[in-house]
Structure 1
Amino acid sequence: MSALVVVGVDGSASSLAAVEAAAREARWRGAELRVVHAFLWPAMHVPLGPSPLGPPDGGLRNMVERLLAEAVGRARSTAPGVDVSHAVVTGEPLTVLEAQSRVADLVVVGSRGIGGFVGLLVGSTAVHLAAHGRCPVLVVRAGGDEDGPVVVGVDGSAAGEPAIEFAFMEAALRGARLSAIHAWTLWNAPPSEIHEDADTYTDPPGELAEAEERLVSEALAGRRQRYPGVRVEPRALRSQTREALIRASGSAQLLVVGARGRGGFAGLVLGSVSQAVLHHAQCPVAVVRGAAERS
């Protein structure tokens, strides 16, 4: 079975930017591209055809056909060799795209749709799909440096492993370098052991920083051999995680994060760092959930 990239469209400028990004992803992966529109109105029993008093090409159904034709045309012009199909699915966008994520390798959405509130940086569909999608979700937003690295947040957790794998693959597909960032503070570092000669949890000078650098190296171990063409830049920074990743996104072409990290609360579907970068990153963001979260 060939790979499948799905992109959600609603006629907004943001969704058309997502179509272009999805077409490039499909070309890099040798995948099929499926353009999907969630058509809510049939479920609400609203008339779909043109009004008897209006033009023959009016009505909701014709509007949907036009926006799909524009999206498909945009995809084919962006990546001429990609096999592009389209589908109109009755239902609410989040429900429709979550169902698509069960069969897709990647779902791509714009950061804001037609129904977005003025001033809202990322729409609710993008945020909720990042939390509930069964495959990686790429949220396309303005910004990004085409010559910049793929940036991935590393925290050493098992839940973060799929995000690292995805970031390596993206860097390889794009011919980009990979910047692996682990941000740590005295508050989010693993607890120290009590030293035998003192009743204290204090580490010797520099020991904690060295331990955090080892964490990054261990998280990347093995993947460098599988992706020999990817130049990796491991970085352990003493900083708050969200601030470090948002800052790095200013010169990145893509930021990759896990849905939840080492400090996540049990039952929390999307962690605070993931939500922060979705709202404030200066480049497209991919959210990759762990295997346990996807099940």
Structure 2
Amino acid sequence: MSKKHRHDDARKDKPSKWDAGESRGAEIGGLPPAVSECHNNEGHVDQNPDNHKRMYPLYVELVKWQRHLIEADERVVILIEGRDAAGKDGMIKTFVKHLSPRETRVVALGKPSDREQTCWYFQRYVPHLPASHEMVIFNRSWYNRAGVERVMGFCTEEQYEEFMQTVPLFEQMLVRSGIKLFKYYLDISKSEQKKRLKDRRENPLKQWKVSPVDEKSQALWDSYSRARNAMFSRTHHALAPWIVVRADDKRAARENLIKDFLSRVSYEGKNEALARPDPHVVFLYHEAYLANEMIAP
């Protein structure tokens, strides 16, 4: 047998992340490391001990869940949607902070190419769907067509209607194929968006986030609200419901999205007490939440 075949067979025996030589211990859990030893995902020391103590148990639960994902050969897709400056990047960084990068992928597609614009709309997303024991997080997703493309006129009325009618069918097909699909919408107020966009423009470390679309976000606020509401009402379905996260408070949003996710998945050794999100922060979409402004007007 060739070296290549021996290597391939060995990889089939055990998930790569949990090989005995790579595992950090048979049990996952225990006390958090000292704050002085805790680093964020950019290699910098986390200077907030309260934040570290609060989030550490949730990170442990996510790692336990990922072990189950790998061992059970599951496939998971998470969509993170929201207005400009809703906190999508920070949310995703927090979620994946301690997960295995080998089984975790974050997808943020740019503007479609000339060729992609002639293809079936969902075609450029399909190659990024997960294989067995993988999780894929889409930082924005196929719902661009229901939001920014709709508001900014980047698609025709016919293309928009085609999308709205077919996206539930596309998602049902994914779920019935075995993919577990979670759709999160980070919801912020107009005043909070204004503050964050100002910070984005003035902060030299956030210049990479600035885009021409930002300038129109506030002026087109009502148009984006109408597009969001139509998206909720027409694409919220039993197999892939919309989960709304009130995101003016970034810390509460990140903590409660993780708690909500944990409440929706099964895995060995689950700490049920931690998987209890605040229902005032994260909740399933319902049209009543538009009327009472639980969802920002």
Tell me the TM-score normalised to structure 2 length. 0.27
Normalized per residue, the structure richer in strand is: 1
Larger Rg: 1
Tell me the TM-score normalised to structure 1 length. 0.27
